[in-house]
Amino acid sequence: MTSTAHRAATDAPDREARYTAIRADLERAVRRVCPAWLRDRQEDLVQVAVLRVMDVQRRSDERGEGNRELGSSYLYRVAYSAMIDEIRRIRRRDETDLDGEGPAVIQHTTSAPGPDAVTQASEQGAAIRDCLGHLLAPRRSAVTLYLAGHSVPESARLLGWTLKKTENLVYRGLADLRQCLLGKGIRP
């Protein structure tokens, strides 16, 4: 057995024990930070938090920094961050639970938009697609994901770019899109 294979075989139980301990700590942290109306999503929040911690651990191992000891305050911040991201995702998509304890969703009284609204929305959609088509490819990709409801960090992860690069491309692309739409007589 090679030394790398031997190390991987002996590290597996250590990794499993480390994962179990981290998961238990994150479950406690999520229970502490999670509001009552998000209780049905606690397991999802724990999974997201575990993935984030394991990703940090993996990157640390790749850089040769070894196993870092993760304090309870760090794990609490990871759990809190996962919960805040989930709340933002829910609000962005206007989700609500059936108990009515979650975020409020504004109900419109009309069942269907009028013909003028449909025509105006269609024209605006065509103008947006046309303006997006004129953006530089990286800006177009970043802005399209942003307009589809992805946050800048989510877009960075999906595109494989740094957070700063994605942030710059989104905001510069939105500025270009705004200018293009104003040139077409549409106020964003």
- The pLDDT of residue 108 is 44
The architecture that CATH gives domain 115-183 is Orthogonal Bundle (1.10)
Which part of the chain is CATH 1.10.10.10? 115-183
The two tokens of residue 48 are 């997201």
Tokens found for residue 94: 């206007």
Q: What is the pLDDT of residues 107-133, one digit of tens each?
A: 444 456 778 777 888 888 888 888 889
Q: Write down the pTM of the prediction.
A: 0.43
Predicted local confidence at residue 98, as pLDDT: 53
pLDDT of residue 109: 47
pLDDT for res 168: 94
Q: What pLDDT score does 171 carry?
A: 92
The set of residues, in sequence order, having a beta carbon less than 8 Å from that of 49 and lying 6+ positions away, is: 26, 29, 30, 75, 78, 79, 81, 82
Mind listing the pLDDT tens digit for each residue in 49-82?
A: 888 888 887 877 777 776 666 778 888 888 888 8
- Output the pLDDT for position 68: 64
Contact between residue 128 and residue 177 where contact means Cβ atoms under 8 Å apart: yes
pLDDT tens, 3-51?
444 444 456 677 788 788 888 988 998 888 888 888 888 888 888 888 8
Give me the pLDDT at residue 117, please: 76
Residue 2 clears pLDDT 50, i.e. is over it: no
Q: Could you give the C-alpha distances from 121 to 26, 39, 113, 180, in angstroms and in order?
A: 45, 38, 10, 17
The whole-number pLDDT of residue 179 equals 92
- Which residue type occupies 61? D
Can you give the pLDDT at residue 105? 46
The b-or-e profile of 37-66 (16+ CB within 10 A means b, else e) is: bbeebbeebbebbbebbeeebeeeeeeeee
The amino acid occupying position 3 is S
pLDDT at position 11 is 61
Q: How far apart are CA 65 and CA 46, in angstroms?
A: 25
How buried is 92 (Cβ within 10 angstroms: 0-12 exposed, 13-18 middle, 19+ buried)? exposed
Residue 169 has pLDDT above 80, yes or no: yes
pLDDT score of 188:
66
